[in-house]
Chains A and B, each alone.
Chain A
Amino acid sequence: GAVVSQHPSWVICKSGTSVKIECRSLDFQATTMFWYRQFPKQSLMLMATSNEGSKATYEQGVEKDKFLINHASLTLSTLTVTSAHPEDSSFYICSARKTENTGELFFGEGSRLTVL
């Protein structure tokens, strides 16, 4: 299998602060990682695709200056929610695809963000 780990698993912050979420592939190298957002009882919504060493590709409607994504190595991608507001509260999940894999995505445990 393949293990993807996220940190932190939950975070509570004050409105206006920035929060960084890390996503690591523990036993494989991931040239591509994906960041999703999920609201309660809803499906996953793709926010952006990040490729190691290049800029992330954001989905329509996702503010790139609000959600900063960095994929600086083959095992680490970070999502920074800048100047967080209560409406940014959500469950954020990352996923990674093995370099050699044909298409399977492996997901992290998710990070619950609550902005007060």
Chain B
Amino acid sequence: GQQLNQSPQSMFIQEGEDVSMNCTSSSIFNTWLWYKQEPGEGPVLLIALYKAGELTSNGRLTAQFGITRKDSFLNISASIPSDVGIYFCAGRLGAGNNRKLIWGLGTSLAVNP
């Protein structure tokens, strides 16, 4: 099925460093969502974006809905060991009650204390 281009695929950083990851698509989305998944758990919603250009923060996390509506980024500032996990972007095309999410392949983050 259709997927988003998410990069980087993995990151290994030192505690305290900032992290940036992004997703791009050839299609226009009307919603961007960022999730974090830890091993053996379901994804947890971090940030939801609904308007082009929207910049939203959740603690040390900041995400933006690209003005072209074809991309989004997630930044994590001052990383800590508990930030470890896989981060997924997801975008929604179109409208309708059953509109599906298109998923990125994930960015695996490892933080060295």
Contacts and interface: CB of A to CB of B under 8 A. Distances in A.
A interface majority secondary structure = strand
Interface string A77-116: 0000000000000010101000000111111111010000
A4 B43 CA distance: 11
Contacts of B92: 103
Interface in B1-52: 1, 3, 31, 33, 35, 40-45, 48, 50
Contacts of A31: 97
A74 B42 CA distance: 21
A107 B43 contact: yes
Contacts of B41: 109-110
Interface residues on A, range: 20 to 34
Contacts of B106: 42-43
Give the residue among B42, B50, B99, B105 with the most A Cβ atoms within 10 A.
Answer: B42
A73 to B, nearest CB: 18
A32 B42 contact: no
B1 A44 contact: no
B101 interface: yes
B88 A44 contact: yes
Given A103-B50, A103-B92, A104-B33, A46 B100 contact: yes
B44 A107 contact: yes
A46 B1 contact: yes
B42 A6 contact: yes
